Amino acid sequence: MANKLWEKNFEINKEIERFTVGRDRELDLYLAKYDVLGSMAHITMLETIGLLTADELKQLLAELKKIYAVCEQGKFVIEDGVEDVHSQVELMLTRKLGDIGKKIHSGRSRNDQVLLDLKLFTRHELKEIAEAVKILFDELIQKSNQYKDVLMPGYTHLQIAMPSSFGLWFGAYAEGLTDDLLFLQAAYRMTNRNPLGSAAGYGSSFPLNRSLTTKLLGFDSMDYNVVYAQMGRGKMERNVAFAMATIAGTLAKMAFDACMFNCQNFSFVKLPKECTTGSSIMPHKKNPDVFELIRAKSNKIQSLPQQVMLIMNNLPVGYFRDLQIIKEVFLPAFDELKDCLQMAAYIINKIEVNKNILDNPMYDPMFSVEEVNRLAADGMPFRDAYKKVGLDIEAGKFVPNKNIHHTHEGSIGNLCNDKIQALMNKTLDEFHFENIKEAEKQLLK
Ligand code: ARG
């Protein structure tokens, strides 16, 4: 039991320890790299306010860089008996450097360490999510342009409604992602503020230079009020979860469409056979499991904001151990969303579209509005034209003209994909990911 940061002159009950440490030894591994980076910034600042000598700082930074390398190799472990990542890093430093290692915690608490670690981890993951969104976006735009002239039925109430196109269908999901990314950016900007210096949630009597750690860690600015900084725990996770859920919502809807359009009764799209799965009993089956799993996993991600909210709901001001449990649902969610985005991009790239859907006369009525509009353009009052075409359809006399001509912005003949692409690029540029990359590079130099 010699490894507890808060150990005094009594031993903690084993069962209490097991229950309170919970899954931290496993989940804190997500945070290890960032705990080290945070410590590097913190001690660099401590030296400037006279709490470490230049020599002590040098030794500590060298050791922390080694620990960072261990994390990068995936070899960082939290030993049995050690509570969490913060304790493990401090233990490794004191083993190597003795008393110097014990100095790094001045002006800091595990409460703001974990806050900081979560923010550094999350902003890195949000960057990866934004990049994965862009890859899917590019696939969708490419397919939209490629099949801009291939018509398909549009539905309302799942009833054949009006002409649509693969250009519109693929492009709609691409544009959806531009909105989702805007949401993600708002979450990113809230995440990209420095909480370090809040200590246990009420600041410190040391003259901490928070502007310096903000700059060293490449944050846009800080969470100024130390009480608010601590309140960010849980709130940040909730806001980010909402942004992830928005992306997941787009994925789930697209996956459902794809499953439906892939069904033989529709036969609008098809997956190459190597991208389908078989049945153990029915030899003919080629199932779109990929889309089904994207749908289910994305739906699961859409429950994340609720899970986070229910864990932190109604907590008053200040730190509580409840917040630890958020890590269990929050930390693994990024890999799941990235996996879904990557598979979606992969499968959209492979998807084949049926270019002859409209040869089937079943879809003829969807041209009814085109005919009504033609008559109205020639001078017949719209209501009369509507009635005439309706009666023709009833009487089996309707002959569709499939040469459609839609010209307004965002319609079949004028997709505005260049505008959608410009929106996406603008939003991506506004993240300024280069700032965090540069700061991390400088710290590790
Ligand atoms: N494992 C803890 C968490 O995630 C770290 C902070 C511990 N702080 C405390 N006051 N017990 O919340």
Tens-digit pLDDT profile for residues 242-274? 999 999 999 999 999 999 999 999 999 999 998
**More confident site: 7 or 181:** 181
Ligand 1 atom nearest to CA at 109:
8
In terms of domains, do 120 and 237 share one? yes
Residue 109 Cβ < 6 Å to ligand 1: no
Residue carrying structure tokens 């609720």 = 306
Residue 212 forms part of a structural domain: no
Answer yes or no: is pLDDT of 3 > 80. Answer: no
- Residues 87, 37, single domain; the answer is yes
The overall average pLDDT reported for the chain is: 96
Encoded tokens for 106: 């001045």
Mark whether 238 and 277 lie in a shared domain.
yes
For residue 185, pLDDT over 60 is answered with yes
Tell which of 72, 88, 105 closes a domain.
Answer: 105
If asked whether residues 196 and 278 sit together in one domain, one would say: yes
- 74 and 190, same domain (yes or no): no
CATH number, domain containing residue 56: 1.10.275.10
Task: Give 88-139 pLDDT, tens digit per residue.
Answer: 999 999 999 999 999 999 999 999 999 999 999 999 999 999 999 999 999 9
What distance in angstroms lies between residue 84's CA and the mean position of ligand 1's atoms? 8
Q: So what's the pLDDT on residue 87? A: 95
Whether 284 and 315 map to the same domain: the answer is yes
Domain that holds residue 61: 14-105
> Distances from the Cα of 178 to the Cαs of 8, 138, 423, in angstroms?
54, 11, 7
Total structural domains in the chain?
A: 3
Determine the distance separating the centroid of ligand 1 and the alpha carbon of 110, expressed in angstroms.
6
pLDDT grade for 10, boundaries at 50, 70 and 90: confident
Residue 214, in any domain of the structure: no
Atom of ligand 1 nearest to the CA of 84: 1
Question: What's the pLDDT at 407?
Answer: 95
Tell me if 283 is assigned to some domain: yes
pLDDT confidence tier of residue 279, bands split at 50, 70 and 90 = confident
Cβ of residue 114 lying under 6 Å from some atom of ligand 1: yes
pLDDT confidence of residue 223 = 98
For position 127, which CATH number holds? 1.20.200.10
Shared domain for 53 and 123, answered yes or no, is: no
Q: Can you give the pLDDT at residue 1?
A: 40
pLDDT over 90 percentage in the chain: 92
pLDDT of 369 reads 93
Task: Verify that 349 and 371 share a domain, yes or no.
Answer: no
How many Å apart are CA 371 and CA 366, to the nearest integer? Answer: 10
pLDDT digits (tens, 9 = 90+) for 384-417: 999 999 999 999 999 999 999 999 999 999 999 9
Position 4 scores a pLDDT of 79
> Residue 199 pLDDT > 90, yes or no?
yes
Q: Are residues 236 and 134 in the same domain?
A: yes
Residue 223 lies in a domain: no
Span 316-349, pLDDT tens digits: 999 999 999 999 999 999 999 999 999 999 999 9
Is position 184 within any domain? Answer: yes
Phi, psi (deg, nearest 5) at residue 444: -90, 0
**Do 186 and 243 form a contact (C-beta atoms < 8 A)?**
yes
Ligand 1 site, residue 262, Cβ cutoff 6 A = no
pLDDT of 2 strictly over 70 = no
User: Is residue 34 included in any domain, yes or no?
Assistant: yes
Ligand 1 atom having least distance to the Cα of 319: 10
CB of residue 84 inside a 6 A radius of ligand 1: yes
- What pLDDT does residue 135 have? 98
Residue 295 shares a structural domain with residue 430? yes
Give me 331's structure tokens.
């930390």
Verify that 318 and 428 share a domain, yes or no: yes
Instruction: Tell whether 116 is covered by a domain.
Output: yes
Say which residues have a Cβ less than 8 Å from residue 24's Cβ, sequence separation at least 6: 78, 83, 84, 85, 324, 327
Same domain, 243 and 262: yes
Bridge partner residues of 15 (DSSP): none
CA of 40 to the centre of ligand 1 (A): 20
In this predicted structure, the answer to whether residue 355 has a pLDDT above a threshold of 80 is: yes
In a domain, 334, yes or no: yes
Average pLDDT over residues 363-388: 94
Q: Is 319 in the pocket of ligand 1 (CB under 6 A)?
A: yes
Amino acid identity, position 121: F
Decide: 123 and 193 in contact? Cβ < 8 Å: no
